[in-house]
Every structure is written in C-alpha cells, then in structure tokens.
Amino acid sequence: MVRNFLYSTALVSACLIVNITNAMANEPPSALKPLELKINGTTSFNTYFFSNEKRLVRGDKDGTPCKLQRYGLYHLSSIQDSRLRFTVSGKLDSGMDYGLVFVFDPVTNKVANAREDYIFFEGSWGKIVLGDTYGVQSTMTFGGYDQWGGTGFIDGGDFDLVVNYTTGVFHSVNLIGDSNRDTKLTYYSPRWNGLQFGISYVPRTEHRGDQAINSITSTVGPKEPFDTDNISNGINFIHKFANGFEMALSASSIFAGRTHAEASGKLDRKRTFSYAFGGTFTYQDIGFSLEYGNNNRSRTIKNHHTNAGQFIDFGLSYTWGATKFSAGYYHSWRKALSKYCHTKRAKMNAFAAAVDQKLAPGLGVYIEYAYFDMKNPAAKFEAKFRNDNSCDFVGAVPSNKANAVVIGSRLVF
C-alpha cells in the first residue's frame, strides 16, 4: 500500500511538473533582455614642437626642483586622451533602460586609473545619472569647441603640457565652479520639440568615490577654493530645418550654496556664480560655433575689486570627404589683483588651425598649430595668494607668448 502511495505521489508530481512547464512555455515572452556589455575606447599619440617667451619666475635660490618644471623651447612626444569605457546595460519590461558605466584612464604615469564611475536610469520621463561623471555644464552646452579639430585646442587641455600659461590669466572654456567628474546627481528631461533642460547637484566639489569628507581644506593640488551645494543648470534647443540647416543653442549656469577658502585661515572667497551662452550652426559640410561665458566674481577674494573673468570662443570648420579643416579663436579678460589693492587687466588671445584626415574607420591623423598671447602685469603679485608651499604650484609665470605645432594620430573604437 505504501509502495502504491509512493508511485501515485511520484506520478502526480510528474504530471504537475509537466503542467507547470507547459504553462510557462505558453506564457508570453518577457521583454526583459539579458544585460549587455559594450567596450569602447580611444587614445592619441602627439608630438609637439613649441616655444615659450617666458619661463617660470624663480622664487627660491636653493635650486628647488619645483621651480624647473617647464621648458622654453623644446619638443615632446606624449600619449594623451586615453580612455577605456565599459558599459553594462539592460532594459525592464516597462521599457526603462538602466546601466553601469566605468571609464578608465590607462595612463602609465598615474596610480589611480578610474576616471568615471556612475549608474543611470532612462525612460520616457527623462534620464537620471548618479555617480562620478560630468554634469549638465559639460554635456548640454555648445560653443566654439564643437568645431575645433586636432587636439581640441583649449577645450582638449593637451596644450597644458607645453604652454606656460601666465599666472592669473583665465584659459578655459569651462566656467568657474565646473564640478568636472565630482560625485553628483543629474537629471535630464525628455526633449520636447527640440527643447531639453537638466540639473546637476554636487554636495561637495572635489569629492569623488568613497573619499573621506573634508569640509575644511581643499583636497586637490594646488589647493583651490571649493563649493558645498554646487548646482549646475542647463537648457538647450536643437532644430533641423527642411533645407538641411541645423541650429543648436544652449544656456547654462553654476552657483553654490557656499564657497570655502582653500584652507582654514585663508582669505574668504566670494560665492560661485557663473553662466554661459553658446550656439552651433551647421549647413551641409560647414560648421560655425560660438560661446560667451562670464564668471562674475566667483571664488575671488572678498573685499578686493577683482573678478574671475569673462571669455568668448569661436570655431569654424569645413569637411571635404575624409578631410576636415578647422580654425578657432579664444579671448578672455579679467580684473587682476595688483599691489595696494589696485587692479590690472589680465587678458589672453589665442587662435588655432588644424587639419584632420580620416584614414580608416576609427583611425585618423592630424596636424595643428596654436598661438597664445597672454598678459597680466599683476602675475607676480597674484601668485603670492596661490602658493601653498607645495610642488603642485611651481611659481609665477609672467606675461608670455607661446607657439606650438602638434602632429598626432588617434584611434577610436
């Protein structure tokens, strides 16, 4: 009897398993797809030939190596802009995309190679990005840099290796307060009739990863003023006309709840507030872009009649088959702090021209020339407020003119 009962139980169990299996087979397939891994990257090899009229002003007479880090006339070869991106992504039944992104900086002279680390969620309601990556101040704006070829002129930052930028001269297309890849929360709205807005919130600039919080002292070198409750806003509009003409416009701003001095006991700083307007216009193979940025008095010393500077940039490009010709211009100006609380005008004019040639899918070469003319009569005096007695700040660079030619190759996959 027991044996018959066991046989009956086994038979019923087998029937149940078959029925469940059949029921599962008859269910509609789920839209949930397995996670996907995508890998892409880029790297460039550049050879520079450059000259600087002015080197660093020697501060100490003890032969400190910190004072001898720049060249006047020389050549240099360098691997730059190396990136390796890993993207793991999936999709829910509801249609929402989600994923995780790691970006590595495989540069042989660095110890920490992780560059970006963030997660994202995207649906019909917009996109949320959480982690260490760029915010709306970088991803939603347009400017002259959209047309610049070669290394990217000032936007690429590659010329930092060979140009002695005059102390106190503003030389960036990024607004002061730009949180770069600091830990942030970002929201992008859906695009409605070409219009989109976004906002990024950074609790504390300079903070990345699981770094211990430091609310007193700057954690970068050389030490700089930093923000708490840093907020970036961006809005842009993109429209393509029936005749093929395309227009893209943007406006962005950055402000902080509070701006802190670079270290305890240092002079108080004005709160961060900066903004920019830009546009890109393309028709067939011709492109033109421009931008205006104003840093107001962001992070300047309180009770001094200085400002953080303004800038304009332009870019023009023409693509002929596999060849791209481009030219760029950049100009910045600001009130610099001089002796006896007087101010001097610090300014910079720079232009560049480049030719890019595509050789194969993902492979290209380029040649670029750039000229920099920088003036700041108050450079030596302003350097006194920046020196944090470390090798990160190497001393004052007086008014300088620089020329640079770069021959490079780039691989993108």
Question: CA angle 134-136-142, nearest 5°?
Answer: 105
Residue 341: how many other CB atoms lie within 10 Å: 10
Predicted TM-score (pTM) of the model is: 0.87
The pLDDT value recorded for residue 67 is: 52
Residues whose CB falls within 8 Å of the CB of residue 412, separated by 6 or more in sequence, listed in order: 40, 41, 42, 362, 363
> What percent of the chain has pLDDT above 90?
69
Q: If we measure between CA atoms, which residue out of 333, 330, 367, 326 comes closest to residue 350?
A: 330
User: What is the token pair recorded at 6?
Assistant: 């066991």
pLDDT digits (tens, 9 = 90+) for 205-232: 999 999 888 888 998 878 899 999 999 9
Amino acid at 160: D
Separation CA 102–CA 202 (nearest Å): 19
* C-alpha dihedral, 179 to 344 to 369 to 107, nearest 10°: -30
DSSP 55: -
Concatenate the DSSP letters of all residues of 210-279 into one string.
TPPP-SSS--SSS---EEEEEEEEEEEEEEE-TTS-EEEEEEEEEEEEEEE-SSTTSPPBPPPEEEEEEE
| pLDDT over 90 at 380, yes or no | no
Pairing outcome for strands 226-240 and 33-52:
unpaired
Q: Which of 329, 154, 315, 135 is nearest to 232 (CA)?
A: 135
Asked if the model's pLDDT at residue 16 lies above 60, the reply is no
Kindly report, residue by residue over 81-112, the tens digit of the pLDDT. Answer: 999 999 999 999 888 999 999 999 988 877 77
Neighbours of 410 (CB within 10 A): 20
Mean pLDDT check: name the lowest of 125-134, 344-353, 375-384: 375-384
For residue 156, name the pLDDT band (cuts at 50, 70, 90): confident
Q: What is the rounded distance in angstroms from the CA atom of residue 325 to the CA atom of residue 150?
A: 10
Q: Give CA angle at 148 (222, 361), nearest 5°.
A: 110
- Class of domain 42-412 as given by CATH: mainly beta
